[in-house]
Amino acid sequence: MGRRYDRVLLKLSGEILAGKEHFGLDYEAIRDICAEVAEVAKQGVQIAMVVGGGNIIRGAQTTSVERAQADYMGMLGTVINALALQDALERLGCPTRVQSAIEMRQIAETVIRRRAIRHLEKGRIVIFAAGTGSPYFSTDTTAALRASEIGADCVIKATKVDGIYDRDPTKYPGAVMLPRISYMDALSMQLKVMDAAAFSLCQDNKIPIVVFNMLQKGNLRRLLIDGEDIGSTVC
């Protein structure tokens, strides 16, 4: 075994940053996540990140506000999360850049593909914020898009479960984990791990998706440095 990916796109949900509170920012949880990321980055893996905003606001589920407006609100939530991650990573000695799809020059660079790649080549972690910059697109689709743009070897979807199951394991105790599944099967089974646009984009660009439990300490290192078969792979 051994290292199998040189450049990866790590997709974090906003909820995972909320820890046990389910809302807002749990700084202890953020420090734990960033410690795992920092360990891998310091061993030479180039890491870009996309973070959701569901711990602050989830645009698609905000029915009291017009959908496009709600999505923009959600994008701003991802910027808050990106800045929190940047602070935690830099406290751990990892140089980091935040790139936002919505221009806000005082706090983040604008997303520029070639600049992001150059940051990665220099050993900096790049955090992509504000989704695609357009409403009606999820941060899962953003992750697939940014992974394609930077030439990532893999999209890594960090979750609270061990991998992809044939049914929701929280509702069905007999749910079976699927260690390996094709893009087409993931689409036809309507698995909720990522949306259809994200699956299709990764399929078109031949980017595998690994779904794993980020809360299990050491899993990221085992996956990226030790080359262990962790979680489920869509390919």
Binding site, annotated residues for ATP: 11-14, 54, 58, 159, 165, 168
**Annotated binding site, which residues?**
11-14, 53-54, 58, 71, 132-139, 159, 165, 168
Here the tokens at position 195 are 């949306």
Straight-line distance from the first to the last Cα atom of the chain, in angstroms, rounded to the nearest whole number: 19
**Annotated binding site for UMP, which residues?**
53, 71, 132-139
User: 113-120: which pairs have CB atoms within 8 A and are 24 or more residues apart?
Assistant: 113/149, 113/150, 116/48, 116/146, 116/149, 116/150, 117/150, 117/151, 120/7, 120/46, 120/47, 120/48, 120/150
Q: How many CA atoms lie within 13 A of 163 on its CB side?
A: 20
